[in-house]
A and B are shown apart, each in its own frame.
Chain A
Amino acid sequence: MNTLLFVIFSSTISGVVYDEETQAPLKAHIYAVNADLIYLCDSLGAFVIPNITSRVYEIVVSHVGFKEETLLVTIQEPDTAYLYIKLQTVPIPVEEVEATGERIITPGERMLQKEEMEVMPGAEKNVFRAIQMIPGVSSASDYLGLFYVRGGELYENKVLFDNVEILAPYHYFGVGSTFNVDLIEDFDFLMGAIPARYGDAVSSVLLLHSIVVSEEKSGVASVDLIEANLTYRCPLSENLSVILAAKRNYLDFLLKQMGIVEGVLLPYFFDVQGKISLRTQFGNLFVNGLHSREGTDIQASFVDQTVDLKLDGKANTGWLGWDFNGSDRLRFQAYAFYSDMDRHMHGRGPTSADAATEDYSVEKYGALVHTEYRAGTITFALGGGIGRYGLFHAGAKIEDIFYKIGALYYSLEVDTSDDYGFLYAVQRFPIFKVFDCEIGERIDWLPAINQPVPSPRLKLIYRRNPSLFFAYGYLFQTPPLEYPVQEYKPLQARSFSMGTEYLLRPGISGKIELYKKNYKNLIRGYGDNLFFNDGDGQASGIELSLRKYQVGNLFGMISYAYSFSERTTPYDSAVVTTDVHRPHILNCFLGNRSSSGFRVGIQLQLASGLAYRPVIGSEGYYEWSPVYAPHKERLPYYQRFDIHVGREFSLWGMRGEFYITVLNITNRKNIQGYLYDWGYTRRKAIYMLPRVPLVGLRIEF
């Protein structure tokens, strides 16, 4: 029996239980002897015993495989005491068994868990920042959470939340995301062998999974320098529960209330998301909704030039879902969804003489079903969906004016609507007990495409340690319809990847993956509103990573990716390296959770600079126009070192964390691009983020 004397003021006892040897949190049982009640630690090993009235309180802490501990807590005055309880392992004698475990390996798939994102500097509020740390993913700017995968373009990625596509996942061209990060449990990022279930994307599919409903009321409130978030889970009955989440940036509101800003609409964004779940004997029914708004009306000076931006945007996504597990063998899912996005922008960039206007509306609705049946070691999946997709676009693509720090001289006018549909079938089966094979076939009827497009996919995995994997398949996607072409053809990517993964020791694995992609039917542009749907490209590379999963207190990943990519784009009809392609990317992320309540995350990224076409001079008569070099060059290499330090605490029965994040600690002047003077004889570098401190507070109740 251990006796602990606390000469403190306590009316609540809370704490955390962890493995003395590995420092891993334990879901231990806490028996409050005085109250004759048992409390269960959560997944982080934390517990709370409220309403302590006795001066001496006895608690017994136990967990299978560990030595039981009995503690006496002496209390003098009402307050909260926080305990750190270590348990020692006790070997459990068992009969010898032969383990034939099944390792699930998916080529080109990466996942991150919630706690990893919570300590990843810059990703605390934006899941897309976490994506940028994955090998094979390139980003264009520190300011934007946009991501480019294995030589692909931004519009070639698809974002799904609980299996439904979100048309507008970003705010302000990627500065923020529409998702409340506290609503996300984890995500899967599919880059290589995208299963046949997912289509209409040739680069990647991001699957975000929401948190599960809880059996008791709980919530998370967080605030940092930019935005405030609130997530609340509440069971309404034994089978009915609701999750609500909202977030908004608040500086505009605050400054206006304080009278500092008047008559100007500072940039704001607002998201609200909700989920109602009903458990029935026929499966789980749920209703989800996501509503986003953003807007601004400002004129500001930016690097000694005037920038105008007027923006009004909103997006809605709502879906009904049914998830039925008939038995261990059968699973059935069905969704009906509606999604739309409207955005009106009027802007003038730093180098644009004239203002440009853009109206952009997208609407998509439909229904889809998915069935899985497992017969022994063989799994069959069938699914399909139908719906309608509509797009309206008028004006220039204003985001390019700001993003590319340049001006556009053409207007994209389109108003189209078309049906779509798809069917897929997948079979997974073992071969000789050591191989897993997955064969999939998908047929898409894409909007604006006159004929169905089949996309076969094959995966072969050798299930041993080290494992080997191989994947091959065709991916198709609706081309960006805002670019007018004579006849639309589906974007096509033929993808091949292979690699190996080796479990070095429990929780640590190394992975090498090689890939090659050939693109066809890409959009290529000549400027002056002349586009074609017959461009091509290729991408290949190798990705090496070493990952320590969250077993114990230390977790993280080190990765290096080398890639080669050339393709046509709407801005370049020739096959050239894209501006956002970085041949070398080294990422390092380490997170640590200490027993003293500190959570630390450090992140280092070293990468090749972005490609750009330098201005070599000018021409013109009434006004100067830039003359570009025929070949692209590279900006200086990119380097950023970030750190996140958080301190957990308990207060009034609630757990919280206060954190400080410093982005770009070394204050590296990473160059985003160049701005030129009026005569194009001089230029100045525009930098990405300087050293930026962020503070935040997060409370779980």
Chain B
Amino acid sequence: MFIKMESLTLLSRRGLKYVAIILLTSISCLDFRFESEYEDINGIYLEFLKHYQHGGQKLLFRGDTGYISRYDSLLIYDFARVDSIYLMDIYMPGYQIADFLLEGDYAFLILPVGLRIVDIRNSQPHIVGTLALQYPEIIEKFGDYVYIAAANNLIITDVTEKANPILITSYAFDNSINHLEVDSNFAYILSGSDIKILSIEEPNAPSLTYSLSFTDTLPQLQTFSKKGSHLYVSAKYSDSVSSVLIAYDLSANHTLRRVSQMTSPFRIRYIDSGGPYMLALSLSFLSLINLEYPSSPCVGEMTTPGGMYGIIHGEHIYTLDYRFLAIFEIRQAE
């Protein structure tokens, strides 16, 4: 085999042509990206905005006005600008406020002496009606009735006439009531280590429809919250510092059917599921529980600090303990 210089030139020209094609192709192909940027899986994240040294036990809103119960005072703040809230007024009922709720132009206060209904329409709140009770602690309202937990009794009161609240009936439990929620037909009570479901279709004749007992071998109950057809119970194992959130399905004749259990990174002391997300709090942590699949609750977002009480109002989360009010914003992830 014998190759002449002219052959080599031809070959080298062709070779150069192919090399050029290869190089151009390779350079144009250089985009070796194997991964994307991180994206938020639930589309939101929490950003701490501010904290104020305005502590308290409970915070409720009426428009841009916030009402904070603190010992024997009801502090009224303007929350129009969350980064600069200011105190507008103070209502002092003369007793420690155990609990309260707002509806329309009225505040329903639970005091050691009973129920007090206060008109809060103008800058000088005044008493509209009262009902004497012994050491009530928790209040809930649905329709024209308020439901008050006093020791181990559930007291149902008709407040159609704010000036004249009428005690309708009382239902006694074996143990003190630690948590209470109501909807149109049922009251849900945490009493001792039991969860009780009371039918209140006829407020003057409530009847027990279901009871779920937790013995010493099962988790200690902390609190619960109802959202939709599910009940979420926070419990703590006696031999562990961790906490669990147990989801129950209420759809089968309003009995509790356990569907899932989520291990919580902290001891959930408070749950609020009034808004689009479920807010779970410990003293140190705050988390939003994802209820996209109600039977599979899970932690969506988590941050610090926590608190004794929390509420989601608009795009903000407010947490309270005795010393501080902390405000977080729920932001949409890009």
Within the complex, the shortest CB–CB distance from B227 to chain A, in Å, comes to 15
Within 300-320 of B, Cβ neighbours of A (below 8 Å) are at 300-302
Contact A681 B300 (CB under 8 A): yes
- Assess A667 versus B36: contact at CB under 8 Å? Given A616-B290, A619-B264: no
Contact A690 B32 (CB under 8 A): yes
In the bound complex, CA of A652 to CA of B22 (Å) = 24
Contact A303 B35 (CB under 8 A): yes
Contact A630 B36 (CB under 8 A): no
Chain A residue nearest in CB terms to B23: A693
B124 within 8 A of A: no
Contact A690 B34 (CB under 8 A): yes
In the bound complex, CA of A669 to CA of B289 (Å) = 32
A629 within 8 A of B: yes
A658 within 8 A of B: yes
Within the complex, the shortest CB–CB distance from A683 to chain B, in Å, comes to 5
In the bound complex, CA of A513 to CA of B31 (Å) = 40
In the bound complex, CA of A695 to CA of B21 (Å) = 11
* From A9, A625, A680, A682, contact of B39 by CB (8 A): A682
B40 within 8 A of A: yes
Within the complex, the shortest CB–CB distance from A693 to chain B, in Å, comes to 4
In the bound complex, CA of A342 to CA of B270 (Å) = 56
A331 within 8 A of B: no
Contact A681 B41 (CB under 8 A): yes
In the bound complex, CA of A660 to CA of B18 (Å) = 10
B296 within 8 A of A: yes
In the bound complex, CA of A619 to CA of B40 (Å) = 17
What total of chain B residues lie within 8 Å of the partner, measured CB to CB? 44
Within the complex, the shortest CB–CB distance from A623 to chain B, in Å, comes to 9
A96 within 8 A of B: no
Chain A residue nearest in CB terms to B34: A687
Type the 1/0 row for B1-33, where 1 means its CB is closer than 8 Å to any CB of A: 111101100000000001001100110010111
A77 within 8 A of B: yes
- Assess A619 versus B299: contact at CB under 8 Å? Given A690-B31, A692-B29: yes
Q: Which 8 pairs from chain A and chain B are nearest by CB?
A: A617-B298, A627-B298, A621-B242, A685-B36, A617-B290, A682-B38, A619-B262, A693-B29
Residues on A with beta carbons closer than 8 Å to the beta carbon of B7:
9, 79
- Assess A630 versus B6: contact at CB under 8 Å? Given A615-B41, A662-B29, A693-B25: no
Residues on B with beta carbons closer than 8 Å to the beta carbon of A692:
29
Within the complex, the shortest CB–CB distance from B324 to chain A, in Å, comes to 25
Q: List 6 A-B contacts (CB under 8 A).
A: A9-B7, A621-B242, A681-B300, A683-B38, A685-B35, A690-B31
Contact A680 B265 (CB under 8 A): no
Within 631-687 of A, Cβ neighbours of B (below 8 Å) are at 647, 652, 658, 660, 662, 667, 669, 675-677, 679-687
In the bound complex, CA of A682 to CA of B44 (Å) = 10
Residues on A with beta carbons closer than 8 Å to the beta carbon of B22:
660, 693, 695
Contact B34 A660 (CB under 8 A): no
- Assess A680 versus B295: contact at CB under 8 Å? Given A79-B7, A662-B29, A690-B32: no
Type the 1/0 row for A598-642, where 1 means its CB is closer than 8 Å to any CB of B: 000000000000000011111111001101111000000000000
Within the complex, the shortest CB–CB distance from B80 to chain A, in Å, comes to 31
In the bound complex, CA of A9 to CA of B2 (Å) = 10
Residues on B with beta carbons closer than 8 Å to the beta carbon of A303:
34-35
A11 within 8 A of B: yes
* From B21, B29, B45, B262, contact of A691 by CB (8 A): B29
Residues on B with beta carbons closer than 8 Å to the beta carbon of A660:
21-22, 25
In the bound complex, CA of A627 to CA of B295 (Å) = 11
Contact B263 A621 (CB under 8 A): yes
Within the complex, the shortest CB–CB distance from A14 to chain B, in Å, comes to 14
Q: Name B residues whose Cβ lies closer than 8 Å to a Cβ of A.
A: 1-4, 6-7, 18, 21-22, 25-26, 29, 31-42, 45, 240-242, 262-265, 289-290, 292-293, 295-302
Residues on A with beta carbons closer than 8 Å to the beta carbon of B3:
79
Most A-side CB within 10 Å, residue of B3, B34, B40, B262? B34
Residues on B with beta carbons closer than 8 Å to the beta carbon of A614:
41
A78 within 8 A of B: yes
Residues on B with beta carbons closer than 8 Å to the beta carbon of A9:
4, 6-7
Residues on B with beta carbons closer than 8 Å to the beta carbon of A684:
35-39
Residues on B with beta carbons closer than 8 Å to the beta carbon of A676:
41
Residues on A with beta carbons closer than 8 Å to the beta carbon of B38:
677, 682-684
Residues on A with beta carbons closer than 8 Å to the beta carbon of B29:
662, 690-693
Chain A residue nearest in CB terms to B35: A303
Residues on B with beta carbons closer than 8 Å to the beta carbon of A693:
22, 25-26, 29
In the bound complex, CA of A614 to CA of B39 (Å) = 13
Within the complex, the shortest CB–CB distance from A600 to chain B, in Å, comes to 14
In the bound complex, CA of A690 to CA of B293 (Å) = 35
* From A620, A690, A691, contact of B265 by CB (8 A): A620
Chain A residue nearest in CB terms to B38: A682
Contact A687 B26 (CB under 8 A): no
Q: Is the interface of A mostly helix, strand, loop or mixed?
A: strand
In the bound complex, CA of A79 to CA of B11 (Å) = 12
Within the complex, the shortest CB–CB distance from B292 to chain A, in Å, comes to 6
Residues on A with beta carbons closer than 8 Å to the beta carbon of B292:
616, 629
Contact B1 A630 (CB under 8 A): no
Chain B residue nearest in CB terms to A614: B41
In the bound complex, CA of A675 to CA of B123 (Å) = 55
In the bound complex, CA of A414 to CA of B290 (Å) = 41
- Assess A687 versus B35: contact at CB under 8 Å? Given A619-B298, A621-B263, A621-B265: yes
Chain B residue nearest in CB terms to A652: B1
Chain A residue nearest in CB terms to B11: A651
Chain A residue nearest in CB terms to B26: A693
Contact B35 A681 (CB under 8 A): no
Contact A662 B295 (CB under 8 A): no
Contact A616 B293 (CB under 8 A): yes
Contact B33 A687 (CB under 8 A): yes
Within the complex, the shortest CB–CB distance from B160 to chain A, in Å, comes to 43
Contact B263 A620 (CB under 8 A): yes
Most A-side CB within 10 Å, residue of B35, B240, B292? B35
* From B1, B35, B42, B240, contact of A617 by CB (8 A): B42
Contact B302 A616 (CB under 8 A): no
- Assess A681 versus B33: contact at CB under 8 Å? Given A619-B262, A630-B295, A693-B25: no
In the bound complex, CA of A184 to CA of B123 (Å) = 92
Chain B residue nearest in CB terms to A658: B18
In the bound complex, CA of A9 to CA of B264 (Å) = 83
- Assess A686 versus B290: contact at CB under 8 Å? Given A630-B295, A693-B26: no
- Assess A679 versus B302: contact at CB under 8 Å? Given A619-B264, A629-B293: yes
In the bound complex, CA of A656 to CA of B302 (Å) = 63
Contact B36 A627 (CB under 8 A): no
Contact B41 A669 (CB under 8 A): no
- Assess A618 versus B299: contact at CB under 8 Å? Given A9-B6, A77-B4, A695-B22: yes
Within the complex, the shortest CB–CB distance from B19 to chain A, in Å, comes to 10
Residues on A with beta carbons closer than 8 Å to the beta carbon of B2:
11, 78
Within the complex, the shortest CB–CB distance from B195 to chain A, in Å, comes to 22
Most A-side CB within 10 Å, residue of B18, B45, B265? B265
Within the complex, the shortest CB–CB distance from A689 to chain B, in Å, comes to 9
Contact A616 B35 (CB under 8 A): no
* From A630, A680, A681, A695, contact of B293 by CB (8 A): A630
Within the complex, the shortest CB–CB distance from A609 to chain B, in Å, comes to 15
Contact B301 A669 (CB under 8 A): no
Within the complex, the shortest CB–CB distance from A630 to chain B, in Å, comes to 5
Type the 1/0 row for A81-95, where 1 means its CB is closer than 8 Å to any CB of B: 000000000000000
- Assess A617 versus B265: contact at CB under 8 Å? Given A669-B36, A681-B41: no
In the bound complex, CA of A695 to CA of B36 (Å) = 28
Residues on A with beta carbons closer than 8 Å to the beta carbon of B299:
617-619, 624, 627
Within 1-21 of A, Cβ neighbours of B (below 8 Å) are at 9, 11
- Assess A629 versus B296: contact at CB under 8 Å? Given A620-B265, A682-B41, A683-B39: yes
In the bound complex, CA of A579 to CA of B168 (Å) = 59
Residues on B with beta carbons closer than 8 Å to the beta carbon of A686:
34-35
Within the complex, the shortest CB–CB distance from A272 to chain B, in Å, comes to 30
